[in-house]
Amino acid sequence: MSRYVIRGRERLQGSVTVSGAKNAVLPMLAATVLTRERCVIHGVPRLRDVQVMCEILRRLGASVEKEVDKTSGTSSLIVDPAGICRSEVHEDLTREMRSSIFLMGSLLGRLGEVTMAYPGGCDIGPRPIDLHLRGLEALGANISERHGYIHAECRDLVGAEIHLDFPSVGATENIMMAAVAARGATLIRNAAKEPEIVDLQNFLNAMGANIKGAGMDVIRIEGVKELKGAEHWVIPDRIEAGTFMVAAAITRGRVLLRNVIPEHVESVTAKLREVGATVVDSDGCLEVIGPEILKPVDIKTLPYPGFPTDMQPQMMALLSVAEGTSIITETVFESRFKHAEELRRMGANIKVEGRAAVVKGVKTLYGAAVESTNLRSGAALVLAGLVAEGITTVDGVHHIDRGYEDLEQKLLKLGARVHRV
Ligand code: EPZ
- Domain coordinates in residue numbering, the chain: 3-19+236-420, 22-233
CA distances, 26 to each of 29, 69, 189, 199, 393 (Å): 5, 20, 23, 11, 30
Distance 195 CA to ligand 1 centre (A): 14
**Cβ atoms of 369 and 3 closer than 8 Å:** no
> Which of ligand 1's atoms lies nearest the C-alpha of 403?
29
Is the distance from the beta carbon of residue 171 to the nearest atom of ligand 1 less than 6 Å? yes
Q: For the chain, how are helix, strand and coil distributed in percent, rounded to 5?
A: 35, 30, 35
pLDDT of residue 94: 83
Distance 410 CA to ligand 1 centre (A): 27
Distance between CA atoms of residues 297 and 228, nearest Å: 48
Q: How confident is the model at residue 165 (pLDDT cuts 50, 70, 90)?
A: very high
Is 122 labeled as catalytic in the residue annotation? yes
Amino acid, res. 134: R
Q: In whole numbers, what is the pLDDT of the chain averaged over residues?
A: 96
Whether cis (ω within 30° of 0) applies to the bond prior to 27 is no
Percent of the chain with pLDDT over 70: 99
Minimal-distance CA residue to ligand 1 atom 10: 169
Distance 332 CA to ligand 1 centre (A): 8
Task: Determine whether 353 is exposed, middle or buried from the number of CB atoms within 10 Å of its CB (0-12, 13-18, 19+).
Answer: exposed
pLDDT of residue 97: 82
Catalytic residue among 39, 54, 122, 285: 122
> Which of ligand 1's atoms lies nearest the C-alpha of 124?
35
Pairing of strands 254-258, 285-289: antiparallel
Minimal-distance CA residue to ligand 1 atom 25: 170
Strands across the sheet containing 185-189: 161-163, 185-189, 219-222, 210-212
Of the listed ranges 42-51, 67-76, 177-186, 291-300, the least confidently predicted one is 67-76
Is the distance from the beta carbon of residue 307 to the nearest atom of ligand 1 less than 6 Å? no
Calculate mean pLDDT across residues 357-376.
96
Calculate mean pLDDT across residues 235-249.
98
Distance 48 CA to ligand 1 centre (A): 18
Calculate mean pLDDT across residues 251-258.
98
Q: Check pLDDT > 70 for residue 381.
A: yes
Q: How confident is the model at residue 36 (pLDDT cuts 50, 70, 90)?
A: very high
pLDDT of residue 121: 55
pLDDT of residue 71: 80
Q: Check pLDDT > 90 for residue 96.
A: no
Q: How confident is the model at residue 160 (pLDDT cuts 50, 70, 90)?
A: very high
Distance 213 CA to ligand 1 centre (A): 20
Minimal-distance CA residue to ligand 1 atom 31: 128
Q: How confident is the model at residue 280 (pLDDT cuts 50, 70, 90)?
A: very high
Minimal-distance CA residue to ligand 1 atom 39: 129
Question: In 32-114, where does DSSP find H-type helix?
Answer: 48-60, 91-96, 103-111
Is the distance from the beta carbon of residue 129 to the nearest atom of ligand 1 less than 6 Å? yes
Distance 34 CA to ligand 1 centre (A): 23
Calculate mean pLDDT across residues 98-114.
94
pLDDT of residue 122: 66
Distance between CA atoms of residues 143 and 319, nearest Å: 45
pLDDT of residue 120: 66
pLDDT of residue 284: 84
Amino acid, res. 255: V
> Which of ligand 1's atoms lies nearest the C-alpha of 334?
34
Distance between CA atoms of residues 284 and 415, nearest Å: 23
Is the distance from the beta carbon of residue 131 to the nearest atom of ligand 1 less than 6 Å? yes
> Which of ligand 1's atoms lies nearest the C-alpha of 376?
22
Distance 131 CA to ligand 1 centre (A): 11
Q: How confident is the model at residue 98 (pLDDT cuts 50, 70, 90)?
A: confident
Is the distance from the beta carbon of residue 375 to the nearest atom of ligand 1 less than 6 Å? yes
Is the distance from the beta carbon of residue 128 to the nearest atom of ligand 1 less than 6 Å? yes
Minimal-distance CA residue to ligand 1 atom 38: 168
pLDDT of residue 118: 85
Distance 308 CA to ligand 1 centre (A): 11
pLDDT of residue 126: 76
> Which of ligand 1's atoms lies nearest the C-alpha of 374?
22
Q: What is the CATH number of domain 22-233?
A: 3.65.10.10
| 3-19+236-420 CATH pick, 2.130.10.10, 3.40.50.11540, 3.65.10.10, 3.40.50.300 | 3.65.10.10
Distance between CA atoms of residues 208 and 215, nearest Å: 19
Minimal-distance CA residue to ligand 1 atom 35: 310
Q: Check pLDDT > 80 for residue 372.
A: yes
Question: What DSSP element (H or E) covers 151?
Answer: strand 149-153
**Most informative mutation of 130, 133, 166, 238 for ligand 1 (most atoms within 8 A of CB):** 166
- The more confident residue out of 148 and 220 is 220
